[in-house]
């Protein structure tokens, strides 16, 4: 019955009931909402619970975006610290989880942008046809995945982020547009370019 949402004020003696709406609303889980409110007011223990609860999914997201677990953990750590600083201003129009998803995505975008570009020539070398052919389908599939990982490194930060959110995390173009802060058309264009690059890379590899 946690869907029942009522608000009843019990003012202390000689004080009028406060009619202002509560800020605790819109959370799927009331406990998550309470923890967020408490953390926003400076309760470190409440924040620690939120970190522990959301870290696994966020590290997974960052690993998919960056392709490297250690870098992903650093990005998530920075994102949580930045969230702690910004929590007092968090308006709670979305849940803490959605808010963190956005912060981590943008943090990873910055990491990707700061990476030294891999030159296309080097990358092309990586995709050159192997010297010998493994007939086994399994080896082939594994090599294709490896090839794709390398091809991902050749995408621009924005293409890669939009593509990962779409293809690996299965989000709608609308959600990605909101998360990354660009138009849906721009997301579509980036996903298209990413797919184009990846099919070319895989085609060359085959």
List the interface residues with other proteins, window 132-151 (CB under 8 A): 141-142, 144-145, 147-149
Under rule CB under 8 A, residue 33 binds other proteins: yes
Out of 26, 117, 122, 172, the only residue in the binding site for other proteins (CB under 8 A) is 117
Under rule CB under 8 A, residue 28 binds other proteins: no
Look at the block and give the residue holding tokens 């308006």. Answer: 91
Identify the helix (H) or strand (E) that includes residue 67: none
Give how far Cα 199 sits from Cα of 92, 154, 203, Å: 40, 13, 6
Region binding other proteins by CB under 8 A among candidate stretches 96-104, 125-133, 196-204 = 196-204
> How crowded is residue 51: how many other Cβ atoms within 10 Å of its Cβ?
18
Under rule CB under 8 A, residue 114 binds other proteins: no
Under rule CB under 8 A, residue 204 binds other proteins: no
b/e sequence 87-110, b meaning 16+ C-beta within 10 Å:
beeeebeebbbebbbbbbbbbbbe
CB of 197 to other proteins, least distance (A): 5
Whether the CA torsion 68, 69, 71, 76 is positive or negative: it is positive
Out of 11, 89, 128, 137, the only residue in the binding site for other proteins (CB under 8 A) is 11
Binders of other proteins among residues 161 to 180 (CB under 8 A) are 167-168
């Amino acid at each position: 019955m946690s869907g029942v949402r009522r608000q009843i004020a019990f003012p202390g003696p000689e004080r009028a009931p406060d009619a202002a709406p509560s800020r605790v609303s819109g959370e799927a889980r009331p406990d998550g909402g309470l923890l967020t409110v408490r953390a926003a007011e400076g309760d470190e223990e409440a924040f620690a619970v939120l970190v522990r609860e959301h870290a696994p999914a966020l590290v997974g997201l960052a690993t998919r975006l960056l392709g490297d677990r250690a870098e992903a953990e650093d990005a998530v750590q920075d994102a949580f610290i930045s969230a702690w600083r910004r929590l007092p201003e968090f308006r709670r129009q979305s849940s803490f989880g959605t808010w963190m998803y956005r912060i981590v995505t943008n943090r990873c975008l910055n990491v990707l942008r700061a990476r030294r570009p891999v030159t296309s020539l080097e990358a092309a070398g990586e995709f050159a046809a192997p010297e010998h052919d493994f007939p086994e389908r399994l080896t082939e599939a594994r090599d294709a995945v490896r090839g794709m990982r390398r091809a991902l490194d050749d995408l621009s930060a924005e293409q890669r982020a939009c593509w990962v959110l779409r293809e690996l995390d299965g989000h709608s173009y609308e959600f990605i547009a909101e998360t990354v802060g660009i138009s849906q058309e721009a997301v579509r264009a980036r996903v298209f370019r990413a797919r184009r690059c990846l099919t070319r890379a895989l085609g060359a590899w085959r």
